[in-house]
A and B are shown apart, each in its own frame.
Chain A
Amino acid sequence: MTAHAKCAKKFLADEPRADWHDETLWLVRTKRDRAAAAVDEWEALREQASQIKEEALANLNGLLKQFEAEATKNGAKVLWATDAEEFNRIILDIIRQHKAMNVVKSKSMLTEECGMNAFLLKAGIEVVDTDLGERIIQFRHEMPSHIVLPAIHLKKEEIGATFHEKLGTAAGASDPVYLTHAARLHLRRKFLAAEVAMTGVNFAVAETGSVVVCTNEGNADMGVQAAPVQIHCMGIEKIIPRQRDLGVFTRLLARNATGQAVTTYTSHYMRPKPQGAMYIVIVDNGRFKHLTQRSYASSLKCIRCGGCLNTCPVFRRSGGHSYGYVIPGPIGSILAPERSRAGGIDLPFASSLCGSCSNVCPVKIDIHEQLYRWRQDLTLQRRTSFVKRVAMCVAGFVLSSNARYNFAGALGRFAVKYLPRFLLYLPLNVWGKARELPVPPRESFKQWYKRSHNQ
C-alpha cells in the first residue's frame, strides 16, 4: 500500500467527517461554477491567462531582470535565493539586521515549502501566522490541508478546544463568530507589535516592479502597513509581464477559488512606506530545473486558486494531509515528483484521471494528462513500487498475445467463480482491498460476439 492510500484510509475511517469534507468542498466547487457562469467571456479569460503565463515562463529571465530593475527604482530591495536554505537564511538576516523580535506572516505556500517557520524558530524567532486558518493549524502544530482553506480538515469543536487552550476562550465554545472575534483581538496585538511583516505574492508585475497580494481577511495589509519592515516572498513563476495582465488574473482567481467575484482586498505594493523598508525575495528552489522538464513545465503556470483540489473526487475523499506534500491535490501531484524531497512518487497514481482538474484550471494546465505522463515516466525510470512494476510486466506479457489474453480471461472468470473468498482476497489483490470483485460473466465479449454474429 502506498503512502497516499494508507493516509487516505485513516482519513476515511471517520466517515461522518470524510463525508462533511467531501460535501463542503463540493459546495465550494458549485459556488465556483456559478461565479464562472456569470462571466460570459470566462473561457476567453482562461485562454488569455494561459497565454500570458506561457509568455511569462518563456521570457522568465528577461522579465525577472526587468522586475528587479523597476522594483529597485521604486525603492524596494530585491534579493535572490537559489534554494530553501538560502531563502531562510536571507529572511533571518533581514530580521536580525533590523533587530526584530516580533514577526508576522500572511499566507505564503513558498515559506511552507521551504520550512521557514521551523528554521526561524530554531534561530529563536517565533513567526506568527496571521491568516485565521493558518494560525489555527500553527497552534495545533499541523500542516495546511488545503492551499486556500488551510484548516478545512478541522471541525469547529476542535478549533474551539485549541482556542480555549491557547487564547483562553470559554470552554466548549465553538461558535465561529465568537472564535473569529477572539482570534481578531489576539492577532491585533501581534500586528501592532510586529517589526517585520512577511507576505506571499500572488502576482509580480515586471513592467512596474510591484507585487500584488490578495486576501479576504486583510491580514496581509494589517501586517505590512503596521510593521516598519515588509518582506514579500515569491517564487520566480509569480511574474507577469504587464500591469494590464492583472485585469485577467484578478477576474479569475477568486471566482475559481471560492466563487467570490474578487477577494476583499487586492493590494498593490510598489514603494516602502515613509521611514519603512521593503524587501522582495525571489526564490528558485528547483523551479528553473523544473522549467527544463518540457512535459511538466506548464505546471509552473499555476496561480494557486485551489480549484483543482475542490473538484477532485480523490482529494475530497482523502483530505489534504494524505498527500504528504506541501501542495496537495491534483496540482501538487504533478509538482511533487519533480520537486518534493520526500519523493511524492505515488501521488500521480492518487487520481481517477477523470480530467475535472484540467477542466476547472483557470490557466489551462493539462493536469490530468501530466498525471498520466508521470505514471509512465516513473514506471520507465523504475521509481514505482516493485509490485506495481511486476504487475505491469505481467499485464504486458498477457495483453501482447491473443492466446494468452484469451486464456487469462477464461482463468479469471473461472477463478472468481470457484475460488474461495480468502484466496481471491489475498493481500496481493490490492484492488480488492476496498472493493468487491464483479460477478464474472458466463463468456467473454469475444465469445459472445462470435456466437451471436455467426448464426
Chain B
Amino acid sequence: MQIMKSEPKYRHFIENLRAAGGEIVEIAAHTGSIAALFPDAIDFTQETVRDQFSASTSLEDLDKLECVIFEGSFGVAENGAVWLEDKDLPHRILPFITQHLVLRLDSANIVSTMEEAYDRIRLSETGFGVFISGPSKTADIEQSLVYGAHGAVRETVVCYNPSNLSSKG
C-alpha cells in the first residue's frame, strides 16, 4: 500500500487490529513473562506450560480455559492479522476454544501486506496455520456486529519493543 511507505507499518497494524475488534497492549521489554497483565492466563510461550497440555488433553478441559497466551510469528499491517501455526500450538483448538486469546508479538515482526506474509510462510512445513485478526465475530442477526460467535470473545495483542521501531521505520 502506498500509505505504508510513508508511515510505519506498526501504526497501521495497530489501527487495523483495532478496526477488527482486537485490543492492544504495548510493553517495553521482550523478556520475562506478561503474567502480571493477565494473572489468570495460561501462558503457552512457557515450555513448562506447553508440556502440561498435549493433543490428547480432553476437549472438556480445554473448554474451561478462560485466557491463553501464544507467541505470534508475525503480524500483517494491512489487516491486523497475526500468524500462528502448529509449532506454536500444543493443541490446534486452543486459540479458538479459549474465551480470551492473548498473542505476544515482536513489534519488529510486521509485514505490510498479505503477499509479503505468504512469502514468509512455509505451508509445506507445517500441518496447520492460521491468520487471526481480532476476536470471533458475526453479524448474521440483522447485520448487528457481535463479538464471540464461536471462537475467542476477546483478542489482545501484546506488542513488545515498540520503541525499537524508530530506527527500523
User: A interface vs B, CB < 8 Å?
Assistant: 24, 27-28, 38-41, 70, 74, 130-133, 136, 149-152, 154-156, 159, 176-177, 179-181, 183-184, 187-188, 191-192, 205, 208, 210, 216-219, 221-222, 225-226, 243-244, 246-248, 250-251, 258, 260-275
Q: Tally chain B residues at the interface, Cβ within 8 Å.
A: 56
A265 touches B151 (CB 8 A): yes
Which residue from A133, A218, A261, A272 sits with its C-beta under 8 Å from B150?
A218
Contacts of B37 in A (CB 8 A): none
Contacts of B127 in A (CB 8 A): 74, 270-273
A154 to B146, CA, bound (A): 17
A205 to B144, CA, bound (A): 34
Per-position 1/0 for B1-22, Cβ under 8 A of A: 1110000000000001001100
Stretch at the interface among B24-32, B40-48, B129-137, B161-169: B129-137
> Which of chain A's residues has its CB closest to B136's CB?
A218
Q: How far is the CB of B108 from chain A (nearest CB, A)?
A: 21
B136 touches A268 (CB 8 A): no
Contacts of B1 in A (CB 8 A): 38-41
The tally of CB-CB contacts under 8 A between chains A and B is 189
A159 to B138, CA, bound (A): 14
Q: How far is the CB of B128 from chain A (nearest CB, A)?
A: 6
B67 at the interface (CB under 8 A from A): no
A248 touches B115 (CB 8 A): yes
Contacts of A264 in B (CB 8 A): 20, 132-137, 151
A248 to B118, CA, bound (A): 10
Q: With A243-B123, A261-B133 known to touch, is A273 a contact of B128 (CB < 8 Å)?
A: yes
A261 touches B80 (CB 8 A): yes
B66 at the interface (CB under 8 A from A): no
A130 to B96, CA, bound (A): 14
A263 to B2, CA, bound (A): 22
A181 to B152, CA, bound (A): 12
Contacts of B124 in A (CB 8 A): 70, 208, 270
A24 touches B141 (CB 8 A): no
Which residue from A132, A155, A265 sits with its C-beta under 8 Å from B138?
A132
Which residue from B60, B91, B93, B140 sits with its C-beta under 8 Å from A222?
B93
Contacts of A38 in B (CB 8 A): 1
Interface centre among B78, B121, B133, by most chain A C-beta atoms within 10 angstroms, is B133
B150 touches A222 (CB 8 A): yes
A155 to B140, CA, bound (A): 10
Between A and B, 5 residue pairs with Cβ closer than 8 Å are A40-B3, A156-B141, A159-B141, A243-B118, A244-B119
Contacts of A74 in B (CB 8 A): 127
